Amino acid sequence: MTTTTQQSKPAPADNAQAHLAAFDTFEKGGARRFPAWVNELRRAGISRFTALGFPTRRLEDWKYTNVAPISQLPFKPAVNPMPVALSAADLARFAFAGLDGSRLVFVNGHFVPGLSAISKLSVGVKLGSLAAAMSSDGDIVKQHLGRYASATDHAFRALNVAFFADGAFIYVPKGVVVEEPIHLLFVAVAGEDGTAAHPRNLIVAEAGSRLKVVESYVSVGSAAGFTNAVTEIAVGEGANVEHCKFQDESLGAFHVATIQSSLARNSRFTSHSISVGAQIARHDINAVMTGEGVECVLNGLYVASGSQLVDHHMVVDHAQPRCASHEFFHGILGGKSRGVFNGKIFVRPGAQQTDAKQTNRNLLLTDDATVDTKPQLEIFADDVKCMHGATVGRLDEDAIFYLRSRGIPHNAARRMLTQAFASNILARIGIEPVRKQLDEFLQSHLDAEIRAVEG
């Protein structure tokens, strides 16, 4: 394991003040279109954010991720929808463009009906903009929004609560199966540095329902935009939800996001987090088992190069007995990039027969790439099976030689092995067309990565 220690610098002057001012403007203006109860949440959010301030590296959860580049950005929250200069054709180059099923497109966090397509849905399924649902389905939204992703100790989630304007709302009633994956496409259009989108997604799958969701984040332009997203997923009793997130924002962008799931009895939740873009990407993926017999699988693949930093923080909370959780994360790090992996597993008192497994494997393509990986097990029950392992290594030279000895050129051999390492995670994606597209995407992405290392 490689550990980087850096001198902690004095906290830089961030512009939290600017955030406060921006909130004031928002509250007196655009926010008035939202229901009063939402704006109440916002006020709690901004005061929480003000109290917390941006996290510093003195906080355990931010030890390896310095967010100064984000806190020092000018803050230009995209709280009001702007005219969109994008056409459907502009979106064709992004991943999953050809996916069957419904697609909701959001530009800087705002739903754009003109670019979206909602296919025929089963009776009772609701799919659309969260902003609209706050009025049309106020009861459901109110029952769930902000109930799972806590803003108490997380400044970015607090900031999201204060500034979110829209996002996706998916509701699947009891026993309903949604066959085709629903694609949520978030396009960041950063006209200038500091343009900030705060998407907020709410996914509710009632008891016995089935749902597949793909959430992808991309950019247009290379300005230093900021995406600060929160997705809450409530998985009902015996429901089955597969969620795949793909983050491919521009290398100038900053991406901070939480995926918080709440898993009821006998439910099954599978999450995939594929992160390749952004200058700094921080993913918090948290799951709480609220009933027995839950099966929760969190997979992840991060690929970084240049001076990118990609950070995954996971909290799996075994609050109930007889649940299984498996985390499989692979990292591929080139250039001077840095990876951070922190997997916390709580086994609460009484959560007997917990089966928790966590693996994090990292492949360093260069000498300058580093990774900090740390499992954190907090176990308060005695009849549990917990396993964790982390590795940091280079490509296997014996394997490279074997391939070369058969006629496969050096770079192709390295690419083949790197791709194999990535495929180990991608193969776990159950949404076949998504897996296929990501596989193809990764193939060319890794090709470029390998060539860069050679140079």
Partner 1 sequence: MALLEIRNLNAGIAGKHILKGINLSINAGEVHAIMGPNGSGKSTLSQVLAGRKTFNVISGEVTYNGKNLLELEPEERAHEGIFLAFQYPVEIPGVNNTYFLKAAYNEIRKHRGEPELDAMDFLALVKEKMKLLHLEQDLLNRPLNEGFSGGEKKRNEIFQMAVLDPKLAILDETDSGLDIDALRDVADGVNKLRRPDNAALVITHYQRLLNYVVPDFVHVLLNGCIVKSGGKELALELEEKGYDWLACQPCL
Residues contributing to the site for partner 1 (CB under 8 A): 396-399, 401-410, 412-413, 416-417, 419-421, 423-424
CB of 421 to partner 1, least distance (A): 6
Q: Give the sign of the dihedral formed by CA 51, CA 318, CA 360, CA 421.
A: negative
Q: Which is nearer to partner 1, 359 or 424 (CB)?
A: 424
CB of 263 to partner 1, least distance (A): 30
Distances 151 to 42, 115, 234 between C-alpha atoms, Å: 11, 32, 17
Q: Which is nearer to partner 1, 253 or 363 (CB)?
A: 363
Of the candidates 204, 203, 283, the one whose C-alpha atom is nearest the C-alpha of residue 245 is 283
Of the candidates 399, 310, 285, 286, the one whose C-alpha atom is nearest the C-alpha of residue 362 is 310
Q: Which is nearer to partner 1, 96 or 302 (CB)?
A: 302
Q: Which is nearer to partner 1, 189 or 363 (CB)?
A: 363
CB 340 within 8 A of CB 64: yes
CA 15 – CA 11 distance, rounded (Å): 12
CB of 332 to partner 1, least distance (A): 13
CB of 435 to partner 1, least distance (A): 14
CB of 335 to partner 1, least distance (A): 23
CB of 308 to partner 1, least distance (A): 24
Of the candidates 427, 433, 428, 317, the one whose C-alpha atom is nearest the C-alpha of residue 380 is 317
Structure tokens at 188: 């960041």
Using the 8-state DSSP alphabet, how is residue 114 labeled? G
Number of Cα atoms under 13 Å in the Cβ half of residue 356 = 30
Q: Which is nearer to partner 1, 111 or 421 (CB)?
A: 421
Strands 200-205 and 168-172: parallel
Q: Which is nearer to partner 1, 7 or 405 (CB)?
A: 405
CA 266 – CA 290 distance, rounded (Å): 10
